[in-house]
Structure 1
Amino acid sequence: MSCKDKKEVALLPQDKTPKNILFIAVDDLRPELNFYGANHIQSPNLDKLANESLVFNRAYCNVPVCGASRASLLKGVRPTRHRFINYKTRADVDAPDAISLPNLLQQNGYTTISNGKIYHYNNDDSLAWHNNWFPKGNIRDYQLEKNIVENQGAGQANGGAVSHEMAQVHDTAYFDGKIAQKGIADLRELKQKKEPFFLALGFMKPHLPFNAPKKYWDLYDRNSIELPESYIQPKSTPRKAFHNFGELRQYNNVPKKGDITDALAKELIHGYYACVSYVDAQIGLVLDELKRLELEDDTIVILWGDHGWNLGDHKLWCKHVTFETALRTPLIIKVPGKTKGQKTDAITEYIDIYPTLTELVGIKAPETVEGKSFVPILNGKTSKKDWAVSKFKDAVTLIKGDLFYTEWTKDDGVAYERMLFDHKTDPLELENLAEKPDYQETVKVLAKELRENWGKDFLAKN
């Protein structure tokens, strides 16, 4: 069925009114948060939400790049060698016959609203939304005129990777403050309607550049920031596993090649922390309003980051690799009457989000959806699924228990490079085991399971 086909999809029988869904996406958010065992980023609102939610300790995106990850998640369809490739991915081009989650909900009586960055392109999957809004301004969200001029429009990023641009700028000067206020205004309107709603808020930070109001920078002491323990690129790891972090090098305070200085590395880490605290404050405003309007008891809240992010890990920055730092993501879901701060180690993929939400609100997921609902986990049961598959370009990774196995494959599926880490003994992924004699039988088994689980269309050209 085409996403433009308005044929109704039947509701499943249910005993209660469909619940609202507040769908919060955060760009480039790592699971480096207090409820994941870290204790150095101040994010009190996310911490509070986690204490009311089910927290997934082992959630993984299916592709570590924004446009492709979002399209895959919202369509419920796996990436392949030729589908959902990079940040320019459009869901309505790559998977035109798969009904997106918001489109399905709209067809079943939901008011659907997209604010901020949900898809990479604001006009992607346009028929799925009753209202689709993005704040005005230069895409890098600079406030200083010098930076705006140096930015040269949406395609350039010369203004600098890190900057607290003004001494005292209000939170609403930046996109995320505007997105929060638009979300709050929408909640007030939706409160007056009888229809259930799917309100999607796509927050931009902590995406580069790390510009946030000065008060959030002031929460952290640069002198106490340390480089990650994994600030190394071991010789046993294939060189193809690393990249030149070109996304970061667009900025005029970052050298075009080679390692960056330790001072700049710490400034980037500082800026990342500040941006997480900034977006945390904006999300807190929305959640406070949800409570004030007495909507929270009838609203599912799900929060996710579109992929992980390297913050100096393996001397890398940004995403675009298949190390765990780029694949593992924050994922928390608050379901009224079900969640209260539980945590699960069940391996979960982002394509599992779509069928979970539809099951929770009593709508049958389309046959195109490839994920597996994690509602049984919400009900306290043990998940039978112990694997996930992620890919980026030629690299495709099977996550199976504590093992992270990656193959770089050709169009015919034949591997030309391998990488294997055992997180029981090597959680930082510093020793590639794939070529060691003692692991050849393990590699053979994992290679077979990878092909069994990467999806029936993985090698298809269309």
Structure 2
Amino acid sequence: MKQQFLKIFVLSLFFTLSGVCQTTAQKNLKTKKPNILFIAVDDLRPELNFYGANHIKSPNLDKLAGESLIFERAYCNVPVCGASRASLMTGARPTRYRFIDAHIKKDEDFPEAISLPYLLKQNGYQTISNGKIYHYGQDDAEAWNEIWESKTLWTFALPESQEIREKTKRGLPVEMADVPDSLYRDGQLALKVIKDLQKLKQSNKPFFLTMGLAKPHLPFAAPKKYWDLYDRDKIELPKSYVQPETTPKEAFHNFGELRQYENIPKKRDLPDALAKELIHGYYACVSYIDAQIGLVLDELKRLDLEDDTIVILWGDHGWNLGDHKLWCKHVTFEKALRTPLIIKVPGKTKGEKTDAITEYIDIYPSLAELVGLEIPNTVDGKSFVPILNGQKSEKNWAVSKFKDMVTLIKGDLFYTEWTDNKGVAYQRMLFDHKTDPLELDNLAEKPAYQETIKALSKELREKWGKNFLVDTKNSKP
């Protein structure tokens, strides 16, 4: 009798403890913060199928977009890589003195800001920087558990291209090489991110894993199979391949970034054949990075991490492919400011689109809110989580700048002022995208628009940020 009682008691205790353990495991599962896969792409235009284009082959991006919220009106806050990335990672607006050009460092321009990866690391996340996240790999080093940069010669694959590169400033602007994907930097990057996923799968910690792709940045170098996806004879120059006289001359530049490459004329327009070759190369590079992203997303699924991981993909700014006879970025026309931005939140997104105007400084507070973290007071952006929850965005504007150019995007209007260091305008530009989506008719000097100009000028100053004209780096005690 005693033995039977003891047996019943032991079994009862076992099931009670099992229930406690199971409840605890379920609680831990529910309370564990979601992972974040953070994909940054250099110089990526929103010239993709899910944005209405139908000529670039990017099946993996298309599939991801079909599971995401697609932002149709996302804008970078500054159209140059280093500044754009530092602004995005801190959620802070560029000013006349902060986040100026490609070569800035977050640690130098805004050291007191708590960056997104640092906030996540402080709150238990494993943070890994892979590839190009900041312009300089060691910038914001305290924010990362690990920083990885490829040691491969990622620029060119062919010996003859490498030789030209060694003897010149930048080498050739294009390369079509019959080589494996992993010979270039982004192919090695994909393999590294896959290994990270396999390692992080074994951890109990949530992760913030980044994938900073170098392409489609110049030079347009990609394996031959991606070039073969396109017929150059079918490639056309953009409809906006013109520089109207009504547009201020200050709006145009000599695309010095491209001019540094071999076989590019130092002045004047590019020959049409060369322009089409560059466009062809850009398309090939987009298809190449699409394949690398696909490998990573496939591994995320294979490891059963999909349902626990937020995936966000963004390009650091737009890029001109002959638009207004310009190449590269460094302007405030829409082609340099508008960017691809998609976010997949498990259980929430399934291919919806929003035309709410979104700025890149909004990414930080949105991710922080999604994982339940308090947003630091150095963040200027506004969370777009309400949009994810099906609510209407209250924001209908964005502000972008580059050097003296400051642009207010409000509804269909794109209003730019060139200002001096006191904030006084010395040139203006206004486009109405409702009637002029290609930005070919500057309305700023037309009498009928002067009241509109006055109102936009006032609003621009109200929205460009309280410290826009303050040199905070050099005015500290």
TM-score range, shorter chain: over 0.9
Q: 2:47: which partner in 1?
A: 32
Given the alignment of the two structures, is residue 148 of structure 1 paired with residue 158 of structure 2, yes or no?
no
Per-residue deviation, residues 248-279 of structure 1 (Å, max 9, x unmatched): 01111101111110000000000000000000
Choose from 126, 131, 135 the match for 2:141: 126
In 2, Cα distance between the equivalents of 1:126 and 1:172? Answer: 27
Given the alignment of the two structures, is residue 246 of structure 1 paired with residue 256 of structure 2, yes or no?
yes
Given the alignment of the two structures, is residue 451 of structure 1 paired with residue 464 of structure 2, yes or no?
no
Per-residue deviation, residues 273-310 of structure 1 (Å, max 9, x unmatched): 00000000000000000000000100000000000000
In 2, Cα distance between the equivalents of 1:174 and 1:189? Answer: 23
In 2, Cα distance between the equivalents of 1:303 and 1:366? Answer: 23
Q: Which amino acid aligns with 2:89?
A: L
Per-residue deviation, residues 75-98 of structure 1 (Å, max 9, x unmatched): 110000000000001011100110
Given the alignment of the two structures, is residue 112 of structure 1 paired with residue 95 of structure 2, yes or no?
no
Offset of residue 138 of structure 1 = 3.7
Q: Which amino acid aligns with 1:350?
A: Y
Tell me the secondary structure at the aligned position of residue 156 of structure 1. coil
Per-residue deviation, residues 10-33 of structure 1 (Å, max 9, x unmatched): xxxx96321000000000000000
Offset of residue 144 of structure 1 = 1.7
Q: TM-score under structure 1 normalisation? A: 0.95
In 1, Cα distance between the equivalents of 2:341 and 2:44? Answer: 10
Per-residue deviation, residues 228-263 of structure 1 (Å, max 9, x unmatched): 000000000000000000000111110111111000
Tell me the secondary structure at the aligned position of residue 121 of structure 1. coil
Tell me the secondary structure at the aligned position of residue 211 of structure 1. strand
Choose from 145, 158, 172 the match for 1:160: 172
Tell me the secondary structure at the aligned position of residue 300 of structure 2. helix
Choose from 47, 54, 57 the match for 1:42: 57
Per-residue deviation, residues 173-221 of structure 1 (Å, max 9, x unmatched): 0011000000000000000000000001100110000010000000000
Choose from 407, 410, 430 the match for 2:417: 407
Runs of 4+ with deviation above 4 angstroms: none
In 2, Cα distance between the equivalents of 1:123 and 1:232? Answer: 41
In 1, Cα distance between the equivalents of 2:425 and 2:147? Answer: 42
Offset of residue 150 of structure 1 = 2.4
Q: 1:287: which partner in 2?
A: 297
Choose from 227, 241, 251 the match for 2:237: 227
Choose from 282, 286, 299 the match for 1:276: 286
Given the alignment of the two structures, is residue 337 of structure 1 paired with residue 350 of structure 2, yes or no?
no
Contact kept in structure 1, 2:246 and 2:441, CA below 8 Å: yes
Sequence identity, in percent? 73
In 2, Cα distance between the equivalents of 1:381 and 1:253? Answer: 51
Report matched runs for 1:49-128 at 5 Å: 49-128=64-143
Given the alignment of the two structures, is residue 305 of structure 1 paired with residue 319 of structure 2, yes or no?
no
Tell me the secondary structure at the aligned position of residue 460 of structure 2. helix
In 1, Cα distance between the equivalents of 2:116 and 2:305? Answer: 22
Q: TM-score under structure 2 normalisation? A: 0.92
Per-residue deviation, residues 338-386 of structure 1 (Å, max 9, x unmatched): 0000000000000000000000000111010000000000000000000
Given the alignment of the two structures, is residue 382 of structure 1 paired with residue 396 of structure 2, yes or no?
no
Q: 1:315: which partner in 2?
A: 325
Q: Which amino acid aligns with 2:159?
A: E
In 2, Cα distance between the equivalents of 1:120 and 1:346? Answer: 28
In 2, Cα distance between the equivalents of 1:151 and 1:77? Answer: 37
Given the alignment of the two structures, is residue 324 of structure 1 paired with residue 321 of structure 2, yes or no?
no
Per-residue deviation, residues 60-86 of structure 1 (Å, max 9, x unmatched): 000000000000000110000000000
Tell me the secondary structure at the aligned position of residue 265 of structure 1. helix
Offset of residue 137 of structure 1 = 3.0
Count of matched residue positions in the alignment of Structure 1 and Structure 2: 444
Tell me the secondary structure at the aligned position of residue 175 of structure 2. coil
In 2, Cα distance between the equivalents of 1:115 and 1:378? Answer: 27
Tell me the secondary structure at the aligned position of residue 31 of structure 2. coil
Q: 1:191: which partner in 2?
A: 201
In 1, Cα distance between the equivalents of 2:460 and 2:165? Answer: 42
Q: Which amino acid aligns with 2:47?
A: E
User: Alpha carbons of 1:15 and 1:447: their partners in 2 closer, same or farther (altered >3 Å)?
Assistant: farther
Offset of residue 145 of structure 1 = 2.0
Tell me the secondary structure at the aligned position of residue 222 of structure 2. coil
In 1, Cα distance between the equivalents of 2:246 and 2:35? Answer: 49
Tell me the secondary structure at the aligned position of residue 161 of structure 2. helix
Higher percent of residues as helix: 2
Tell me the secondary structure at the aligned position of residue 310 of structure 2. strand
Offset of residue 163 of structure 1 = 1.8
Contact kept in structure 1, 2:156 and 2:175, CA below 8 Å: no
In 2, Cα distance between the equivalents of 1:22 and 1:445? Answer: 41
* Greater Rg over alpha carbons, structure: 2
Q: 1:5: which partner in 2?
A: none
Offset of residue 461 of structure 1 = 1.3
Q: 2:16: which partner in 1?
A: none
Offset of residue 127 of structure 1 = 0.7
RMSD: 1.1
Q: 2:367: which partner in 1?
A: 357
In 2, Cα distance between the equivalents of 1:391 and 1:436? Answer: 24
In 2, Cα distance between the equivalents of 1:27 and 1:312? Answer: 18
Q: 2:17: which partner in 1?
A: none
In 2, Cα distance between the equivalents of 1:461 and 1:111? Answer: 35
In 1, Cα distance between the equivalents of 2:294 and 2:71? Answer: 20
In 2, Cα distance between the equivalents of 1:253 and 1:65? Answer: 24
Q: Which amino acid aligns with 1:162?
A: V
In 1, Cα distance between the equivalents of 2:175 and 2:182? Answer: 17
Q: Which amino acid aligns with 2:173?
A: A
In 2, Cα distance between the equivalents of 1:244 and 1:74? Answer: 30
Given the alignment of the two structures, is residue 21 of structure 1 paired with residue 36 of structure 2, yes or no?
yes
